[in-house]
């Protein structure tokens, strides 16, 4: 009887070993497929990323942490993982893009370069500026965090995130020199300053801010008269009837 029990236990153990070996073999990562959308400026970063990805080949897919893989790749603030999934039985798929330098913020005698979504890409004690950057200013918002690799945080991150989304409407063309996010009592505005000395003032951005910005930049692009497109501003608001109306005005009005 005892011999029979030992035989059953041995068979069970052998079966378990076979199952475990089968699982390990079946779910071993054989491919890590990455789609890169990276500018020439950051093209060399793909080599570093591929080294990280190659380190996951041969691991068990069941126990691979895609969260840890994402964190490892994004240790470089210039790199963003936009999608990462496990494809059973043996593949990890990723989409990766680079974060581009768009804004420069001066704060407490230091300069911070930000991506289009507000990720802090680098910090410098030396001046950073020029037409390749949009000067970024905050008026009435308190900065809480400016750590490299993290999103800029203020006391109103909802308004800040919306401001970054609204700014994408401008497509970061070289006409935009400066972007100011302004908050006050009954004030939640985004103001674009252009190299042609025109200010585009989008008021109350919480109410159809992106549509207001689109209307404002359409008015700016459609205006061909130099005397209008010099030292004037566009104020765009939402009328009581729901219409969004951009209005040209003199500075100071």
pLDDT band at residue 164 under the 50/70/90 scheme: very high
pLDDT higher than 50, residue 23:
no
Place of tokens 């581009």: 100
Q: How far is CA 22 from CA 15, 19, 49, 55, 122, in A?
A: 10, 5, 30, 22, 47
Confidence of residue 223 (pLDDT cuts 50, 70, 90): confident
For residue 165, count other CB atoms closer than 10 A to its CB: 15
Copy the structure tokens of residue 251. 């500075």
Mean pLDDT of 110-135: 95
- Short-list 229, 167, 227, CA closest to 198: 229
pLDDT of residue 21: 47
Could you tell me the pLDDT band of residue 80, with boundaries at 50, 70 and 90? very high
Confidence of residue 13 (pLDDT cuts 50, 70, 90): low
Per-residue pLDDT band at 3 (split at 50, 70, 90): low
pLDDT surpasses 60 at 20: no
Read off the pLDDT band of 22 (50, 70, 90): very low
Query: What share of the chain in percent tops pLDDT 90?
Result: 57
Band of pLDDT at residue 15, cut at 50, 70 and 90: very low
For 193-218, how does the pLDDT look when each residue is reduced to its tens digit (9 = 90+)? Answer: 998 888 999 999 999 999 999 999 99
Mean pLDDT, range 223-242, rounded to an integer = 84
Q: Please, are residues 73 and 65 in contact by the beta-carbon 8 Å criterion?
A: no
- Of residues 230 and 242, more confidence is placed in 242
pTM: 0.83
Q: Check residue 19 and give its pLDDT.
A: 43
The pLDDT value recorded for residue 70 is 93
* Average pLDDT of the chain, as a whole number: 86
């Amino acid at each position: 009887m005892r011999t029979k029990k030992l035989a059953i236990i041995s068979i069970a153990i052998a079966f378990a070993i076979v199952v475990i070996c089968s699982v390990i073999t079946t779910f071993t990562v054989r491919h890590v497929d990455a789609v890169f959308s990276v500018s020439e400026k950051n093209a060399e970063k793909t080599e570093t990323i591929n080294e990280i990805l190659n380190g996951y080949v041969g691991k068990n897919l069941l126990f691979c942490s895609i969260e840890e893989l994402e964190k490892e790749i994004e240790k470089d603030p210039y790199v963003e993982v936009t999608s990462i999934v496990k494809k059973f039985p043996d593949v990890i798929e990723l989409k990766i893009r680079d974060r581009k330098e768009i804004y420069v913020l001066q704060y407490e005698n230091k300069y911070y370069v930000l991506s289009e979504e507000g990720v802090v890409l680098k910090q410098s004690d030396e001046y950073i500026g020029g037409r390749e950057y949009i000067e970024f200013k905050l008026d009435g918002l308190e900065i809480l965090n400016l750590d490299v690799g993290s999103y800029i945080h203020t006391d109103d991150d909802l308004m800040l995130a919306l401001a970054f989304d609204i700014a994408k409407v401008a497509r970061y063309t070289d006409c935009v020199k400066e972007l100011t996010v302004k908050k006050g009592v009954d004030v939640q505005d985004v103001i674009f300053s252009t190299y042609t000395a025109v200010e585009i003032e989008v008021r109350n951005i919480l109410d159809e801010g992106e549509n207001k910005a689109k209307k404002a930049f359409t008015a700016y692009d459609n205006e061909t008269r130099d005397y209008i497109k010099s030292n004037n501003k566009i104020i765009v608001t939402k009328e009581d009837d729901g219409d969004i109306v951009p209005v040209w005005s003199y500075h100071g009005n």
